[in-house]
Amino acid sequence: MGFPCKEDAVKMPKLCSYNILVKQVACGDSHTHILSRDGYVYSMGSNINGVLGLSNSEAMVKHVTAPQLITNLSGISQISTGRSHTLALDFSSKVFGWGRSDTGAIGIRVTCSSYPSEFDI
């Protein structure tokens, strides 16, 4: 839900209204991604290892408590989030990945990437 501390966690379900027409939600260890019906991806939560995909400098964003648009992604049809990485598939079957990748989870040869990178499958 984007809260910085576990003490802030919501123990009962709560309606969240962000004015986004939601198609899909994917959650990682401490981050959440929302795919809108019009193909845009929003992220919130902790940005450890660049998992939010908001910038190419992880130091710029530490934590986000409300959904932020990932500006260099559009036309996305599906998202999938792991513990500390995310993958997105666009309508033309291109795959993008970001977050922690020391075991190759996002398909590119870097330790982590804080912005979506396209890769070949």
Q: Left, alpha or beta for 58 (phi > 0: left; psi -120 to 50: alpha)?
A: alpha
| pTM listed for this prediction | 0.81
pLDDT in tens, 14-66: 777 788 999 999 998 889 999 999 999 999 998 887 889 887 554 567 888 89
The domains found in the chain, sorted by start residue, are: 18-119 (2.130.10.30)
pLDDT in tens, 59-102: 567 888 899 999 989 999 999 998 888 999 999 999 998 886 66
- Say which residues have a Cβ less than 8 Å from residue 100's Cβ, sequence separation at least 6: 49, 50, 51, 83, 84, 85, 106, 111, 112
